[in-house]
Structures are given as structure tokens and as C-alpha cells.
Amino acid sequence: MSNLALHRVQSSDHQVVVGRYCLAELAEILAEAAYADAKLFILCDGNTLEHCFPVFAEKVPPARRAELIEVAEGEESKSIEVCEQIWSALGELGADRSSVLINLGGGVVTDLGGFIAGTFKRGIRFFNVPTSLLAQVDASAGGKTGINLGHVKNQVGLFNNPEGVFADPAFIETLPRKELMSGFAEVIKHALIYSPGYWREVKALDLHEPEALDPLILRSIQIKNEITLSDPFEQGRRKILNFGHTVGHALESLSLEGDAKSLLHGEAIAAGMVCEAYISRKFGLIDQAALEEITDFILGLYPRVPVETLSHHRLIELMRHDKKNANDRFNFALLADIGDAVYNREVSADVVIESLNYYSRRV
Ligand SMILES: NC(=O)c1ccc[n+]([C@@H]2O[C@H](COP(=O)([O-])OP(=O)(O)OC[C@H]3O[C@@H](n4cnc5c(N)ncnc54)[C@H](O)[C@@H]3O)[C@@H](O)[C@H]2O)c1
Ligand SMILES: [Zn+2]
């Protein structure tokens, strides 16, 4: 597979520019009259300051005149306290309504920065420069921004579109392997819900060959974009992006409660996709061969998450708290086939537990 120079994906009112030369285009945009006089701010975390900012400043010369705002790495930075610090820093550094924020980082930085940009002085312009695989294929596009409230994820936020998204696959090279695999779970999801051809490509990928990921990053961005454009506020079809996430989110929350090291988002989603593929089979939506193909592929890539029988009850309780579910029926996006999904399917707690048993016991 060839590496990817530059591609554009048109979103509602902005472009997602993808490829190893995409940042040259951002540099040109920032030199245009609409931006040349604006004060620039770059939001990053400790890791992206170290690994991404030097490359970014080299590829985007206007970044050298920007003020840097650094937050601690990790989910804890998606908090109202950190927002307060950033709003204050922007104020002290002289940001005004015409200022521009560049979010240089993973999903934490793009979620947080998008929220900051939407709220500071009632809204300033921003660009997303996603540096993790998860942020490139998922978090940085689609318009959702926000922060956590206590332990409740993404409780406060807004739909807010950037001026543009610039996804350079070169950033992925410094990403720790575990983070890479976490993002890759969303790539697998895109294939499963949307395209049998893409599923074959995903299965054939050699993950040790860094540039081999480039075309997949583009394809995943296109798929997420097509789905979100068809339903920007998640009233219907966009829900298919939740495949793997109903069980996955509960596993992720459960892992945060325990003493053991918590699961990364994609690790939990990978397990959730196996469970939800099982449920899709149970409903007669996919055949046994498809279920086995999906299970084998995912279990071959991700270590099995230990799901003790004792924690089934707690998992169901966590799913009950999920705003998408009512009473004891859970609302799922399921696979209709490899490469096709349906949404708003009601599933009972018993079937969910059966799927957890399948996931835990399958050899
Ligand atoms: N808005 C959305 O639609 C949406 C969708 C999915 C996920 N999210 C959010 O995204 C967040 C998760 O995103 P994430 O997995 O990118 O997490 P993250 O931003 O915490 O990044 C993961 C880790 O990788 C580091 N990192 C990032 N880029 C790097 C690079 N190029 N080199 C070395 N290290 C690098 C980060 O510092 C961090 O330690 C969650 O908060 C989730 O809620 C949002
Ligand atoms: Zn996800």
C-alpha cells in the first residue's frame, strides 16, 4: 500500500485534510489575511508537547509565534477545573474574539480544546490537529466536544465544529503501542458497521509497517464523516457508531472502579464488539461464520479482558446508568452483516450476560 500524500474530506462546513503533507496546507491557511493578524494559541499535553510540537512547529511556521498552553496528559484534564485554568490563561495572554486555538493532541486535547473554543468569549475559531490514532479516526471529527463531570464522561459539552481538521499520520509513529491498538479498535468498528471491503483491508493490515496505516486512517475518517453528516445530532443512523460501545462503555467504567489498571477505551470497545457480535448472531442478524471471524480477529489482537461472573451484575447496573438505555431493556446498535449495521435494537439483560459468557469462555 502506498503512503498517503494529501486528501480532503468535506464535512458540513469545514474540511478534514489527511496525509503526510496536510500541515503545509494549515501553514498556508494561517498565513492568509483571515488569520495572519490573529493571536494563535496551541493547546497540548505533556506528551504532545514533547513528541508532536517540534515537528508541528517545523511544518507550520506560524506556530512559532503561538502561545503554548499545556495540560497534564490523561482523561483527568477533561475537567471544569482545567477549563478554568485554560480560560484564565487565555485571558491573561490577551486572547480576544478573533484569536485562534489549535488543539494539538489526542482525543483529550481535541475534546477539551473544542469545548474551550466554543465557550471562551462565546466562541473563538479553532483547528484540530489530532495526534493519536483514536483522535484521527474518531474524536477530532464529528463536532462533539466536551468534558467530564466527576466520573461521568462527556457530561458537559457542545457540538462545535472546527475551522478544519488536519490529520498527519506521521504523528502516530511516536504513539505507544497500547494507544495505537486502542485507536485501532475504532478502525475495526468502522469496517464492521460500514464496509465489507474495508473489513478485508483491515484484516490484511500489517500493523508493524507504519505507513500501511495511512490509507486506513483516510478511509476511517471518510466513513465517520459520511455517517455523522447523514445525522449530525445523533437522532438515528449515527447511532450505528455505538456498535461495541454499550457493553464496551460498561466494561470501561467497571475497570475504572477496580484496583487493576484500567482499560483503555479501545480495549474495552474491542471486548464490547465481540459481545455485541454475539448478540447480533443471537438475533439472527449475522451467521455463525461471521461471528467466528470477528471473534477470532479481535481475540487475536487484544488480550481478553477478565470478566468475572461476579461482576456481571455490576456491569448491567452500569449499563442501566447509560443515558441511552431505559428500564431493563438496553438499546443496541448491532451488525446486520459484516459491513452493515442496524440501531435501536432492544436487548435484555439476560442476553447481555450470555454474550459476556461467550466472550469469556470462547477458546
Ligand atoms: N468527540 C468525540 O467524538 C470522541 C470520540 C471518541 C473519543 N473521544 C474522547 O477522546 C479521548 C480519548 O482519546 P485518546 O485515546 O486520543 O486519548 P489521549 O488524548 O489521552 O491520548 C492518549 C495518550 O497518547 C498520548 N499521545 C497522543 N498523541 C501522541 C503522539 N503522537 N505521540 C506520543 N504520545 C501521544 C497522550 O498524551 C496520551 O497520553 C476520550 O476522552 C474520549 O472521550 C471523543
Ligand atoms: Zn469509541
| Residue with CA at minimum distance from ligand 1 atom 7 | 139
Name the nearest CA neighbour of 104 among 91, 113, 116, 95: 113
Check residue 3 and give its pLDDT: 54
CA distances from 96 to 40, 41, 67 (A): 10, 11, 13
Regarding whether 230 and 130 lie in a shared domain, the answer is no
Report which DSSP code applies to 340.
Answer: E
pLDDT at residue 320, as a whole number: 86
Q: What's the gap in Å between 36 CA and the centre of ligand 2?
A: 36
Question: 179, 213, 264: which to mutate for ligand 1, most atoms within 8 A of CB?
Answer: 179
For a mutational test of ligand 1's pocket, the pick from 70, 108, 154, 233, i.e. the residue with the most ligand atoms closer than 8 A to its C-beta, is: 108
Indicate whether 167 and 191 sit together in one domain: no
Residues in the chain with pLDDT values less than 70:
1-4, 259, 323-327
pLDDT recorded at residue 153:
83
Domain assignment present for residue 1? The answer is no
- Regarding the beta carbon of 271 and ligand 1, being less than 6 Å apart is answered no
Residue 224 placed within a domain: yes
> Is the domain of 139 the same as that of 234?
no
pTM, 2 dp: 0.95
Q: Is 168 in the pocket of ligand 1 (CB under 6 A)?
A: no
What is the domain count for the chain? Answer: 2
Please check whether residues 333 and 192 belong to one and the same domain. yes
Residue 66 lies in a domain: yes
Spatial CB neighbours of 156, under 8 Å, sequence gap ≥ 6: 80, 115, 146, 147, 148, 149
Q: Is 195 in the pocket of ligand 1 (CB under 6 A)?
A: no
Question: Which DSSP helix (H) or strand (E) runs through 130?
Answer: strand 125-130
Q: Do 37 and 91 have their domain in common?
A: yes
Buried b (16+ CB within 10 A) or exposed e, 51-77: bbbebbbebbebbeebebbbbebeeeb
pLDDT at 256: 81
Q: Give the domain extent around 63.
A: 7-174
**198 and 107 in a common domain:** no
The domain that holds 47 is classified in CATH as 3.40.50.1970
Measured CA to CA in angstroms, residue 65 lies from 40, 42, 60, 61 at distances of 7, 10, 10, 8
Q: Which pLDDT value is given to residue 1?
A: 39
Q: 291 in a domain, yes or no?
A: yes
Atom 10 (ligand 1) nearest CA? 107
Residue at a domain's end among 119, 139, 174: 174
Q: What is the pLDDT of residue 21?
A: 95
Same domain, 18 and 159: yes
Domain C-terminal end among 174, 194, 215: 174
